Structure 1
Amino acid sequence: SGVIPYAKMGYWDASYAVKTTDVLALFRITPQPGVDPVEAAAAVAGESSTATWTVVWTDLLTACDRYRAKAYRVDPVPNTTDQFFAFVAYECDLFEEGSLANLTASIIGNVFGFKAISALRLEDMRIPHSYLKTFQGPATGIIVERERLNKYGAPLLGATVKPKLGLSGKNYGRVVYEGLKGGLDFLKDDENINSQPFMRWRERFLYCMEGINRAAAATGEVKGSYLNITAGTMEEVYKRAEYAKAVGSIVVMIDLVMGYTAIQSAAIWSRDNDMLLHLHRAGNSTYARQKNHGINFRVICKWMRMSGVDHIHAGTVVGKLEGDP
C-alpha cells in the first residue's frame, strides 16, 4: 500500500481496547486494486498520525507506541464490492486543545491524497469529553433564539433574500420588510452577498435594520435578519460585526469558506458580544456530495458546533439542492 508495511508497524491492532479519551474516526476507504483493506486502513491511521513514507531512526526518540493511531476494525460497506469502513482511534494528546485547524490538519490534512487508496471519506467522529471541553461550543442555541424572538410552540420560519445579487440597498431592505411583515420570523443574507459595488455592506445593514424595525412595529412581533459579515480579512469581519451590533442586530452570519480558524474567531467574538452566530455551509458540497470521497456533512456539523456557531445552514428538504426528504 505504500513504502512501509503499515499494518506490521503498529498501525493495525484488531485487539485494541478503545479508551474513553480516544478521538475516534470512521473512514470509508476504497483501496487501490491489489491492496489489502487492513493494510489500507493501517496506512490511513499511520499517515494521519505519526508515520511517514519510510522508517526513520527518530521514531526511537518518542513514545511511538502511544502516539500511533490504531486502525482496529475493518468492515465491508453493504452493497459494495470495493469499499470498507475503517475504524481508527487517536490518542487525544495528538491534537492541540481548542484548535479545529490542528485537529483537521491531522485527520484530513494529508491522507486523502495517499496512494494506497483510490478514494477516502470521513463518515463520522467521536470526540471525547476531555478534548471537547477545550472548545467553547455554541453560546446560545435554539432556546435563547426563541427567547429573543418571543416565539414558542411553533417552528421558526425563515427565508433568504432573492435575487441574492444585484439588488440595491434600498430594494434589499424592502424585500426584508415585505417578507417579515408577511409572516416570516427572519430573513437572511445569502452566502455570496458581502460588499459588492451594487450594494456595500453598510448600506445593506442599515436598510435591513430599517425593514426589521418597520416590520416589527407593523406586526407587534420580534423580527430579525442574519447579516453576513464574511469578508476578505478578519479585521474586516470584526468591523462589520461591530457595526451590525451597533445598529441593533442580534444575529450575524459567516460562510464556511472563511475557514475553521476564522469561524472560531467569529464565534468567540459573538459570545463576548452576546450575539447569535449563523453559519452558511458555502463550499460544503465540494467535499460532502460524493459518497465515496470527502467528508460527511455530519462531521462538518460537529466541527462547527465545537467552533461555537449557534446554527448551521443545512440545505433543503425539497428544491434545487441535492438531498432526499
Structure 2
Amino acid sequence: MGSISYADFVDRSYEPGETELVCRFFVVPAEGLDAVDAAGRVASESSNGTWAELEAEGSVTDLSATAFAIEPATAGEFEGYEVSVAYPDALFEGGNMAQVLSCVAGNILGMKAVDRLHLRDCDWPEPLATSFPGPRLGSGVREGIFDAPDRPITATVPKPKVGLTTDQHVEVGYEAWTGGLDLLKDDENLTDQAFNPFHDRLTAALDARDRAEAETGERKSYLVNVTAETGEMLDRVDAVADAGGEYVMVDVVTAGWAAVQAVRERCERHGLAIHAHRAMHSAFDRHPDHGVSMRVVAQIARLCGVDQIHTGTAGLGKMANEDTVGINEWLGSDLYGLEDVLPVASGGLHPGVVPPLVDALGTNVCIQAGGGVHGHPDGTHAGATALRAAVDATVTGEDLQAKAAEVPELDRALAEWGTETPR
C-alpha cells in the first residue's frame, strides 16, 4: 500500500502505449503553481486522483493518467504550456462518449489550479475508436446519394431561418433544387413550431423533392431537423424513413453526444445519413485558451457516427477563421477502417468565393450558401443556378467570368457580391 499525490501523475520519461488515449491540453497554471504542478492536477482530476493524498491498494494506480510532455506554448494573448496526457484504455467504457468526455473534458475545465485549460487535440487508440460505429456513409453520400463523385455537393437553408410557413419553406426548396442545388436544409432552430410543423414540412418537402428530381433528372434530398428530446427525436427519424427521406439533421452539440449515438443506431436500421449542425460549438471552441477545440468536437462527431458536419470556410465566409483545413484532413484520414466525414463549408458564402474555397478545401466538401442564394437580385432559383454554375466552372478549371458570360444568373451574382467575403 502507498500514497498517491499529484506528483505521481507526472512522468516526463513516460512513453504512451498504443492502446492509450493521448490528449493535448493548453494549460496556464494558476498563480503559485508551476507547469509540473498544473500538469499533475490535470492528469489526476481527469482520471483517478483527488486533492488529498490517498492510500492506494492493488491495481488502482494502473488507472492513473500520466502527464508525460510539458512544453512552452501560447494561445492568443496567453503564455502557458502544452501538456500531453496519456490515459489507460481500462479507464474508459467503450462506446460511451459521455463517459469519455466526463474524464478528459469534465471537472478539469473548472479547476482553480489552472487559469486557462484548452483541450486541443486527441490521438484516439484503436480499441477506444473502434468501440464507436463511426459514419455509415461519410463522404460516400456524394456518390451514393447524389451521383456527384467529382464535385462538391451543394446545399441551402431557406432565409429567414424561421418564420416561413410550410408552403413558403417548401417553395424555396423547390426553387433551389430546380436551380441546380442538391440539398435543402433546415436551420438549427427550426424543428416543430406552429408556423411550420415538422410532419407537414417533411411530407410537403419530399413531395417537392420528387417533382424537382423529375424536372431536373438529378437526385435531390432534404436535411430535415429532427432535434428534440431523445425519444421524440428517434420517432422523427422513423418518420423520415417512412416518408422516403435519405437524411436527418441533428444539432449535435445541443442534443448531446449520447443522443447522437442513439440517432446513429436508429439511422443504421433505416439506412439514413446524418447531417450534423454544430450550433453552440463556439461556447467551447471560440477562444483558443480555454474550452474544447473544434478539432476535438469534429473527432467526437466522427466517432459517434455523423456523415457530414460543418467545419468552417477557411476564413472565406462570415465566421471567425478556424483550422478548417486541418480539421477536414483529420475527418478524411484513416481511422482503423472507420468511414470518413464529409466537411460542410457554410456561413457567408456566395458564388464569387467558390474558386478560392475549393482551392483551399478541395472538392470533397459540401458547399452551403443561404443569403448567397436567396439574396440574389432575381431570387432563389437564379441564386441556386449561379452557385451551381460557379461550382461546375471551378471543378473544370473554367474562369468564373468566362462562365458568367454564358450564365446570366452568375453574372448578376458577381455584379452583386463580387469576389469579396462578407463580415
Q: TM-score, normalised by structure 1?
A: 0.94
Identify the residue that residue 266 of structure 1 maps to in structure 2. 263
Q: Which residue is equivalent to 2:415?
A: none
Which residue of the partner structure matches residue 193 of structure 1?
190
> Residue 173 of structure 1 contacts residue 210 of structure 1 at CA under 8 Å; is this kept in 2?
no
Alignment of 1:95-244 (within 5 A): 95-231=92-228, 233-244=229-240
Partner of 1:252: 248
**Alpha-carbon deviation of 1:56?**
2.8
Distance change >3 Å, CA 253–CA 81, structure 1 → 2: closer
The residue type paired with residue 244 of structure 2 is G
Residue of 266, 272, 276 corresponding to 1:275: 272
Equivalent pair of 2:5/2:53 in contact (CA under 8 Å): no
What CA distance in whole angstroms lies between the structure 1 residues aligned with 2:29 and 2:61? 25
Q: Distance in 2 between matches of 1:145 and 1:21?
A: 34
- What is the total number of aligned residue pairs between the two structures? 317
Using the TM superposition, name which of 309-318 and 163-172 deviates more.
309-318
Find the counterpart in structure 2 of residue 69 from structure 1.
65
Q: Give distance in 2, aligned partners of 1:298 and 1:319.
A: 19
Rate the CA distance shift 1:209–1:75 in 2: closer, same or farther, 3 A.
Answer: same
Shift of 1:241: 1.0
Distance 2:238 2:74 in 1: 51
**Correspondence for 1:297 among 279, 294, 314:** 294
Distance in 1, Cα, partners of 2:281 & 2:91: 26
- Which amino acid letter does the alignment assign opposite residue 210 of structure 1? D
Q: 1:82 to 1:307 in 2, by over 3 A?
A: same
Mapped partners of 1:262, 1:213: distance in 2: 30
Greater shift in the superposed pair: 250-259 or 48-57: 48-57
**Is the Cα contact below 8 Å between 1:5 and 1:39 reproduced in 2?**
no
23, 26, 45: which one pairs with 1:25? 23
Determine if the alignment matches structure 1 residue 6 to structure 2 residue 6: yes
Please give the alpha-carbon distance, in whole angstroms, between the structure 2 residues aligned to 1:191 and 1:253. Answer: 9
Q: Which amino acid aligns with 1:241?
A: V
AA aligned to 2:207 is E
Amino acid corresponding to residue 47 of structure 1 in structure 2 = E
1: CA distance, partners of 2:312 / 2:150: 23
| Partner SS, residue 153 of structure 2 | coil
Match of 1:306 among 293, 303, 308: 303
Amino acid paired to 1:172: H
Which residue pairs with 2:36 in the alignment? 38
Tell me the CA shift for residue 33 of structure 1. Answer: 2.1
Distance 1:78 1:114 in 2: 20
What RMSD in Å do the two structures reach over aligned CA positions? 1.6
Deviations 1:169-200 (A, max 9, x none): 01100011001111111121111100112111
Unpaired runs of at least 5, structure 1: none
The one-letter code matched in structure 2 to 1:302 is: Q
Q: Deviations 1:78-122 (Å, cap 9, x if unpaired)?
A: 586631100000001000011101100111111111111011000
Moved more, 262-271 or 142-151: 142-151
Percent of residue pairs bearing the same amino acid type: 34
User: 2:350 — aligned with what?
Assistant: none
In 2: Cα distance, 1:12 partner to 1:152 partner: 48
SS at match of 1:65: helix
Q: Report the Cα distance in structure 1 between the residues aligned to 2:192 and 2:259, rounded to whole angstroms.
A: 18
Partner Cα distance (1:282, 1:315) in 2? 12
Q: TM-score, structure 2 length as denominator?
A: 0.72
Deviation at 1:126, TM superposition (A): 0.7
Tell me if the contact between 1:14 and 1:73 (Cα under 8 Å) persists in the aligned partners.
yes
| Bigger share in helix | 2
**CA contact under 8 A between 1:40 and 1:116: conserved in structure 2?**
yes
Secondary structure (helix, strand or coil) at the match of 2:284 reads helix
CA distance, structure 1, for counterparts of residue 36 and residue 78 of structure 2: 15
Instruction: Give the superposition deviation at 1:76.
Output: 0.5
The superposition leaves residues 200-258 of structure 1 with CA deviations (integer Å, 9 ceiling, x where unpaired) of 10111112112211111111100111011001x22211111111111111110111210
Instruction: Determine helix, strand or coil for the equivalent of 1:124.
Output: strand
Runs ≥4 in structure 1, deviation > 4 angstroms?
Answer: 78-81
Q: 8 Å contact 2:142–2:149 — kept in the other structure?
A: no
Q: Helix, strand or coil for the counterpart of 1:29?
A: strand
What amino acid is the match of 2:238?
E
The secondary structure found in structure 1 opposite 2:233 is helix
TM-aligned CA deviation for residue 65 of structure 1: 2.9
User: Structure 2: which 5+ residue stretches go unaligned?
Assistant: 323-356, 358-423
**CA distance in 1 between partners of 2:199 and 2:313 (Å):** 29
- Residues 26 and 87 in structure 1, CA contact (< 8 A), matched pair in contact too: yes
Moved more, 203-212 or 299-308: 203-212
Q: Aligned AA for 2:18?
A: T
Q: 1: distance between equivalents of 2:79 and 2:32?
A: 11
C-alpha displacement at 1:142, in angstroms?
1.4
Give the conservation status (yes or no) of the 8 Å contact 2:46–2:104.
Answer: yes
